[in-house]
Amino acid sequence: MSGKPKLHYFNGRGRMEPIRWLLAAAGVEFEESYLEKKDDLTKLRKDGSLLFQQVPMVEIDGMKMVQTRAILNYIATKYNLYGKDLKERALIDMYVEGIFDLNELFIYYDIQPADKKEQHFVNMMDKATNRYFPAFEKSFKARISNIPTIKKYLQPGSQRKPPIRPEDIPKLRAIFH
């Protein structure tokens, strides 16, 4: 095995996307192993790779890590991206938790049944507009987007995944349910 971290997830953003972003910010190349069918997930579960029987999972430094925040904390600490002191780490943690809350709203919108989508959309937009977007003002996004390693990750041809399309939902349901 090469020294590159290996990411196990479906071929989409979801909960793996912040991990990809952080590895990109650290300038770390990584490999990906995509779950294409239910059997791929079942195999990882049966071979003991998934502590809590779920993905994302990252193989790094001889470990099979699960739980997105634990993976992010490990990578951020390893590559010295987790703040210079306790106060800076607390600020980073607050932003990370906010990003996770916002991301969950979007993830769950994509998988809502048709009769619940409109209600979820209204709730999602209200929370995003009034709670999360003010904290992530455009000057914050511009600063992050201009970090050279992030800028490279945002370019076409990178390992960044496109948003989930409606036609992807049945395949994801077949893998995870």
| DSSP classification of residue 167 | G
Report the side by side order of strands in the sheet with 6-9: 31-34, 6-9, 57-60, 63-66
C-alpha closest to that of 78 among 15, 25, 141, 156: 25
Q: What is the pLDDT along the chain (177 residues), one digit of tens a residue?
A: 459 999 999 999 989 999 999 999 999 999 999 999 999 999 999 999 999 999 999 999 999 999 999 999 999 999 999 999 999 999 999 988 998 898 888 888 878 888 999 999 999 999 999 989 888 876 877 788 888 999 999 898 888 998 888 888 889 889 988
Pairing of strands 6-9, 63-66: unpaired
Query: Is 0.85 surpassed by the pTM of this model?
Result: no
Q: Is 78 helix (H, G, I), strand (E, B) or coil?
A: helix
